[in-house]
Amino acid sequence: MKNPNNFNGLKVTSFESRRANEIEKLILYHGGVPRVAPSMREIPLSESKEAIKFAKELIAGNIDMVILMTGVGTRALIKAVSTKFEIKDIKNAIKKTTIVARGPKPVAALRELKLKPKITVPEPNTWRDILSTLTSEATLKGKKVAVQEYGISNTEFISALKKKGAKVTSVPIYKWALPEDIEPLKAAIRGISDSKEDIALFTSSQQIYHLFEVAKKIGSVKKLKHGLKSTVIGSIGPTTSETLYRFGINPDYEPDSPKMGNLIREVARIGAELVNKKRTALKNGVDTNQWQPQDMIWSKSSQKSRKEITHNSVFMKACRLEKTDYTPVWLMRQAGRYMREYRELRANVSFLELCKIPELAAEVTLRAVDRLNVDAAIIFADILLIVEPLGVGLEFSKGEGPRIKRPVRSGKAVDRIKDFNPESLNYVYEALKITRRALDPTKALIGFAGAPFTVASYMIEGGGSKNYENTKGLMYKDPDAWHVMMEKLSLATASYLNNQIQAGADVIQLFDSWVGSLSRDDYKEFVQPHMKELISNIKPGTPVIHFGTGTGALLDLIKESGSQVIGLDWRVDLAKAWKHIGYDKAVMGNLDPVILFSTPSEIRKRTKKILDKGKSRPGFIFNLGHGILPKTPVDNVLALIDYIHEYTQK
């Protein structure tokens, strides 16, 4: 592995102008070879008639809302109107309006004037974010809204405000032009066109327009686009990415937070992997100007060759108790609501639709691996997908989680459970096939299912539960019916998982989220026989990870069920638990997910304690003690993974 957070000598081109020196230093700091080709300059409008007109209307009390788009523009606006009006009059008038700041830079400019915005637009601060914030926090209908614009007018934004009933006044303050010296820009275009640059970073939309404007002037648009096929493209945020899409270019990386430092740091940590991936894809016939993660082709050689590489990957070696060069890491729910990419996809489809459209499920799975640089992917699905073909009905209610329409609470209801048809979940297998083809062969692909007890509990309770009264009630009152139900689920789950293996899963995980609610005696009587049967029916040679929460008192019994890897939750001490289980089993775990809400230094301290308990012995896989929580900061997840890789490298 190469040094995390380091470009490792890659050639990095930036088109930043105003902050050119700063970005050059950042690239150097992160181990890159910088080329800074300024692409634009800001020309203030010396006599802004619109600004003076705006000031008159503002002082007269005819403006209800002022939207400040940039820090530079806010300062330029005040400077322009101060030539005709007293600053104190402007400040008093603007205080009476609803001041909207697009992110921290206008906030900082307002602070200099001892003013505060009433509404601050959250990241990533796009015009769509402004619109959604205003829709939730302010009524636009009939309001007179002034928009401080910058560079070029955002006609889409203005039009959207008008559609919501606002009376909009545009206040342009400065315009953009090409730099006076465009030779550095020409040289950058030639470098990219000749595939001599590794990474190109874009920190504003206008840089893209000017790049292609100059490329057109020198007759190099076609060559530039071809060169970008082998150049990793970093985009600072959604607005810049949208502009790249307009030119037929898909960005390869976009940070969660649209800040220059974040872009450089995050691209640096996986830059070498991205360059290798993009150039491998291009060599194998993928159009890398317009591609999605699921389009990736790593090799045109035989499947046997791919399997050999995966078999010898760090993750698979750990599953087999073999020595590894570093501790492998993946995270439960590593593709989920904490990631912007996931939220954007979910905005357009329901959870079940996302699971059932193979291309989207594969995309979510792959984006998480690319973003985090973990050592294994886990297919995006849900443990309850298997209950739908069993005939009990399944729906996911917003804010309430999964709900079973026809709960199974009697022997007769158990008898009505349909026989499992593995073809009913073909969409999961298709997602696995797509993912396995597009996934780096050095990374394992995990398929999964819910363990029979947890799935049965959902089917009986009808949803979530604290005490499992209905589940345990059926178990105790009608043990025959219980065992019939568990037998049906065990057979169905084994069939489901074997089909996942056939579709490309290298490892299988069984999630038994609720089994910790049982006593040892109940586990031995009502669960263990079925787990043994299930695991014995999994295709030989495929590692099985058995994970449950609250299972500290059951670990030796779980071991007897036959899995190769036992997942530990955060409630147990890893060293003591592994000794109790026995060193003939690999273990996975077990950082408390809530620790990811603390500081990077605290995360490193807590992670080191766990690593020191496991890294010296073969068979240790780092994970959380349960899934990533929805509001977890992405930066903290990246810091965790980088620390594990760096600290455990031999």
Work out the burial of residue 460: count CB atoms within 10 Å of its CB; fewer than 13 is exposed, 13-18 middle, 19 or more buried: buried
Q: Which of 269, 337, 335 is nearest to 644 (CA)?
A: 269
Question: CA 10, CA 31: separation in Å to the nearest integer?
Answer: 8
Do 93 and 228 share a domain, yes or no?
Answer: no
Give the model's pLDDT for residue 59: 94
DSSP helix/strand/coil, 263: helix
**Is 458 in the active site?**
yes
Candidate list 64, 382, 440, 569, residue with the active-site label:
382
CB 526 within 8 A of CB 454: no
CB 138 within 8 A of CB 67: no
Do 503 and 576 share a domain, yes or no?
Answer: yes
Do 270 and 259 share a domain, yes or no?
Answer: yes
Give the model's pLDDT for residue 4: 57
Q: Write the secondary structure of 594-622 as one string of H (helix), E (strand) and C (coil).
A: HHHHCCHHHHHHHHHHHHHHHCCCCCEEE
In a domain, 115, yes or no: yes
Q: Which of 337, 425, 441 is nearest to 381 (CA)?
A: 425
Do 144 and 117 share a domain, yes or no?
Answer: yes
Do 475 and 327 share a domain, yes or no?
Answer: yes
In a domain, 3, yes or no: no
Do 61 and 32 share a domain, yes or no?
Answer: no
Q: What is the mean pLDDT of residues 590-612?
A: 97
Give the model's pLDDT for residue 47: 61
Question: CA 580, CA 585: separation in Å to the nearest integer?
Answer: 11
Question: CA 521, CA 186: separation in Å to the nearest integer?
Answer: 75
Least confident of 89-93, 124-128, 512-516, 598-602: 124-128
Give the model's pLDDT for residue 382: 96
Q: What is the mean pLDDT of residues 604-624?
A: 95
In a domain, 114, yes or no: yes
Q: How many CB atoms lie within 10 A of CB 385?
A: 19
Work out the burial of residue 271: count CB atoms within 10 Å of its CB; fewer than 13 is exposed, 13-18 middle, 19 or more buried: buried
Residue numbers of the domain that contains 112:
43-177
- Residue 463: phi and psi, rounded to 5, are 170, -150
Question: CA 372, CA 266: separation in Å to the nearest integer?
Answer: 10
Which token pair is 412?
């007769």
Q: What is the mean pLDDT of residues 166-193?
A: 94
Express each pLDDT in 622-639 by its tens digit: 999 999 999 999 999 999
In a domain, 26, yes or no: yes
In a domain, 454, yes or no: yes
Q: How many CB atoms lie within 10 A of CB 302?
A: 9
The residues, any chain, with a CB within 8 Å of residue 417's CB and separated by 6 or more, are 390, 391, 392, 408, 485, 488
Express each pLDDT in 14-64 by its tens digit: 999 989 999 999 999 999 999 999 999 988 776 678 889 999 999 999 999
In a domain, 307, yes or no: no
**Is 643 in the active site?**
no
Question: CA 434, CA 439: separation in Å to the nearest integer?
Answer: 9
Q: Which residue has the higher pLDDT, 464 or 187?
A: 187
Q: How many CB atoms lie within 10 A of CB 304?
A: 7
CB 418 within 8 A of CB 388: no
**Which residues in 255-270 are b (16+ Cβ under 10 Å) and which e?**
bbbbbbebbbbbbbbb
Candidate list 346, 403, 606, 617, residue with the active-site label:
346
| pLDDT over 80 (residue 371) | yes
| pLDDT over 70 (residue 1) | no
Domain closes at, from 291, 324, 342: 291
DSSP helix/strand/coil, 64: coil
Least confident of 4-18, 190-204, 410-424: 4-18
Which residues is 329 bridged to in the sheet? Answer: 622
Do 186 and 131 share a domain, yes or no?
Answer: no
**Is 320 in the active site?**
no
**Is 406 in the active site?**
no
The CATH code of the domain that includes 558 is 3.20.20.210
Q: How many CB atoms lie within 10 A of CB 449?
A: 27
Q: Which of 217, 193, 330, 289 is nearest to 620 (CA)?
A: 330
CB 363 within 8 A of CB 371: no
CA atoms lying within 13 Å on the CB side of residue 315: 27
**Is 617 in the active site?**
no
| H or E element, residue 53 | helix 49-59
Q: Where are the alpha helices (DSSP H) in 146-259?
A: 155-163, 183-193, 205-217, 221-228, 238-246
The CATH code of the domain that includes 214 is 3.40.50.10090
- What is the pLDDT of the chain when averaged over all its residues? 94
| Most trustworthy range by pLDDT among 38-52, 60-74, 208-222, 463-477 | 208-222
Do 408 and 443 share a domain, yes or no?
Answer: yes
Do 559 and 636 share a domain, yes or no?
Answer: yes
Do 600 and 642 share a domain, yes or no?
Answer: yes
Candidate list 458, 496, 523, 643, residue with the active-site label:
458
Candidate list 41, 337, 403, 606, residue with the active-site label:
337
Span between the terminal Cα atoms of the chain, in Å: 10
Dmax (CA) for the chain in angstroms is 89
Identify the sign of the CA torsion 278, 279, 280, 286. Answer: positive
Do 155 and 222 share a domain, yes or no?
Answer: no
CA 10 to centroid of chain Cα atoms: 25
| pLDDT over 70 (residue 400) | no
| H or E element, residue 177 | strand 174-177
| H or E element, residue 590 | strand 586-591
Domain closes at, from 132, 150, 177: 177
Candidate list 35, 265, 333, 367, residue with the active-site label:
333
Give the model's pLDDT for residue 374: 98
DSSP helix/strand/coil, 350: coil
> One-letter amino acid identity for 412?
K
In a domain, 305, yes or no: no
DSSP helix/strand/coil, 81: helix
Question: CA 635, CA 624: separation in Å to the nearest integer?
Answer: 16
Question: CA 623, CA 569: separation in Å to the nearest integer?
Answer: 9
Domain closes at, from 143, 177, 211: 177
Q: pLDDT-based confidence at 139, cuts 50/70/90?
A: confident
Question: CA 45, CA 460: separation in Å to the nearest integer?
Answer: 70
Number of domains in the chain: 3
In the chain, the percentage of residues whose pLDDT exceeds 90 is: 85
CA atoms lying within 13 Å on the CB side of residue 431: 27
Give the model's pLDDT for residue 302: 66
In a domain, 106, yes or no: yes
Give the model's pLDDT for residue 615: 83
Give the model's pLDDT for residue 315: 98
Do 156 and 196 share a domain, yes or no?
Answer: no
